[in-house]
Amino acid sequence: MALVFNVKELMGAGYEKAYWLNCPVRYRVFFGARNTKKSWNIIGVEIIDKIMTSSVRNVICFRRNYVDIKDSCFSSITSKLFKTGLFIKFKIKTSPFEITYRKTGQKVLFKGCDRGTSINSNEVIVGELTDFYFEEAYELENYETFRQIDGSLRGAINDGTGIPKQVTLLLNPWHKEGCWIYDVFVRGRLEYDSVALQIIESLGKREWYDPNLIIEKGKGLYLMQTGYLINEFRDKEVYDKTAIEQKKRSLDIYLVEYAGFWGATGEVVYPEFSDKLIISRAKANSLIYKAFYLGLDTGFSNGEGHPFKGGTPSAVHTAYVMTLCGITSDTNQFSPNNKDIGGDTIVAINEYYWSNELQTEKKTQPQLFEETINKLCEWLDLYQFNKSLMKGTIYVFVDCADAGSLTSLQEYARRRGLVFVKFMPSTKFKIHTRIMFSRLLMSWGEMLFSEACTNLIREFKQCRKGEKGEERADINDHAINSYEYSTAPMYVITKKWVNFKQK
């Protein structure tokens, strides 16, 4: 029985004008919310159709990092091949990643921009290299890297001669500030206006098309913004209700996560933070936690794993902060005192904070190490009657840029007999992921702060974007860094993380 690749059935509705045979332009940019079929249709379905329909086309899929290819564009294509039974018509390799159409020898190749940007013209021996796809294109921060890759796709401008070449970018539109994709392709064309949200909420998409526009290396531009309503395969009972509730709680997050608009440009980093998220010490101390961790920022790095220039081990430059955080258990819902707080809520419970600024007598690093151990002992006593806090092995995640402190702190703990305290190097997600996930949890009331964490609360309230477009100014944010060291392990076990789109 012949295998049939039914493009219309696989893609569903909404992408008809964007389909490559209906849109023979040099550049296509698909930006929108998560769960809008972008990767499913444009990477998964369309690339297979291009190879099987045209006997001369060969495709390269790009990611910023090669290690991300397996679970993204490569998976998108191979899953469709297995879903349709067409995998028998293709040869699939994983080292390196490569898909070959057995009938003709045409190829789908995969490259990471971190492994160099040169394109070897001898990689395809059948037909021509005709198509570049960039998945998660927002990750490609360097415009010159894109121009170099784009320039290697040589051929006639799409004017009816030769084989039309096509470059396709897919991304979630996080922030427009500093994003070259927005500046080059979107600015002044598909902007937010008074009717934009109404269109997205009625049609699930917005489009802009000019087949004659000359940009960079070719002619023609197509833009498509997609919202969650374009995906008819979504779980409407759950997803739509969540979207409506998110719109009530935080319009900014709704516009990005569900409607596909570019991120808001406000100065405040955490607009969802409010005093409603602050709870009493007694409340925080009485909750039942299914996990807890501590984070320690020594003040010797910028919070991104890079030491400050001129760092010295003799004294702390700005602040030295240790934060205790926990993630609540569902058990709280059945407690008369805590039934208003459900499971998977991240709570900042307590903090130790020291700053040498404005101090006449500055503390040295050894002194602070000793105080760290003293504080741990103090918290062991304080939470001795809590069923879950400071019990068993205690993990303290320390600024990964300060390996020396990590070793010293472990020795200080051993001398005091705290063999159950383990000092570990910190791990953190990208700053955008941390900010957006915190904002999401804040909007749902699933990120709370004990009034004991006065410095952390102050930093969240005062946090602003950087003067040069940075998502968060690198100044006086040591309590936030400490908090993020301790909460990173909790992200993956929260309910909201399952559908959260990381950058």
pLDDT tens column, 32-89 = 998 899 888 888 899 999 999 999 999 999 998 888 899 889 999 999 899 888 999 9
Question: According to the model, what pLDDT value does residue 398 have?
Answer: 94
Residue 378: enclosing H or E segment and its boundaries?
A: helix 365-382
Beta bridge partners of 324: 294, 350
Q: Is the Cβ–Cβ distance between 329 and 381 less than 8 Å?
A: no
What CA–CA distance (Å, rounded) separates 146 from 158?
19
Say what percent of the chain tops pLDDT 90: 60
Question: According to the model, what pLDDT value does residue 290 have?
Answer: 95
pLDDT tens, 416-444? 999 999 999 998 788 888 999 999 999 99
Question: According to the model, what pLDDT value does residue 302 have?
Answer: 46
Question: According to the model, what pLDDT value does residue 12 have?
Answer: 84
Phi, psi at 15, each rounded to 5° = -110, 20
What CA–CA distance (Å, rounded) separates 397 from 400?
8
For residues 166-175, average pLDDT: 91
Predicted confidence (pLDDT) at residue 116 exceeds the cutoff of 80: no
Question: According to the model, what pLDDT value does residue 425 have?
Answer: 93
For residues 82-104, average pLDDT: 93
Confidence category of residue 122, pLDDT binned at 50, 70, 90 = low
Same fold, 7-230 and 275-499: no
Question: According to the model, what pLDDT value does residue 479 have?
Answer: 94
For residues 199-228, average pLDDT: 94
What CA–CA distance (Å, rounded) separates 81 from 141?
31
Predicted confidence (pLDDT) at residue 142 exceeds the cutoff of 90: no
Question: Average per-residue pLDDT in the chain?
Answer: 87
275-499 is a CATH 3.30.420.280 domain: yes
Question: According to the model, what pLDDT value does residue 177 have?
Answer: 80
DSSP 264: P
Confidence category of residue 358, pLDDT binned at 50, 70, 90 = low
For residues 474-502, average pLDDT: 88
Of 135-139, 150-154, 251-255, which gets the smallest average pLDDT? 150-154
**Separation in Å, CA 254 to CA 115, 186, 431:** 36, 20, 20
| Domain residue ranges of the chain, discontinuous segments joined by + | 7-230, 275-499
What CA–CA distance (Å, rounded) separates 149 from 118?
7
Question: According to the model, what pLDDT value does residue 318 have?
Answer: 67
The string of DSSP codes covering 315-363 is B-SSEEEEEEEEEE-GGGGGSTTTTTS-TT-EEEEEEEEEE-TT-SSPP
pLDDT tens, 362-417? 888 899 999 999 999 999 999 999 989 999 999 999 988 778 889 999 999 999 99
Predicted confidence (pLDDT) at residue 4 exceeds the cutoff of 70: no
Question: 324 or 7: whose pLDDT is higher?
Answer: 324
Predicted confidence (pLDDT) at residue 359 exceeds the cutoff of 80: no
Helix, strand, coil tally for the chain in percent (to 5): 35, 25, 40
Fold type of domain 7-230: Rossmann fold (3.40.50)
Question: 260 or 178: whose pLDDT is higher?
Answer: 260
Predicted confidence (pLDDT) at residue 161 exceeds the cutoff of 80: no
Confidence category of residue 300, pLDDT binned at 50, 70, 90 = low
Confidence category of residue 319, pLDDT binned at 50, 70, 90 = confident
Pairing of strands 27-32, 218-226: parallel
For residues 116-138, average pLDDT: 80
Q: Is the Cβ–Cβ distance between 428 and 434 less than 8 Å?
A: yes
Question: According to the model, what pLDDT value does residue 163 have?
Answer: 77
Q: Is the Cβ–Cβ distance between 165 and 158 less than 8 Å?
A: yes
Q: Is the Cβ–Cβ distance between 471 and 431 less than 8 Å?
A: yes
Question: 271 or 12: whose pLDDT is higher?
Answer: 271
Question: According to the model, what pLDDT value does residue 503 have?
Answer: 66
Predicted confidence (pLDDT) at residue 117 exceeds the cutoff of 80: no
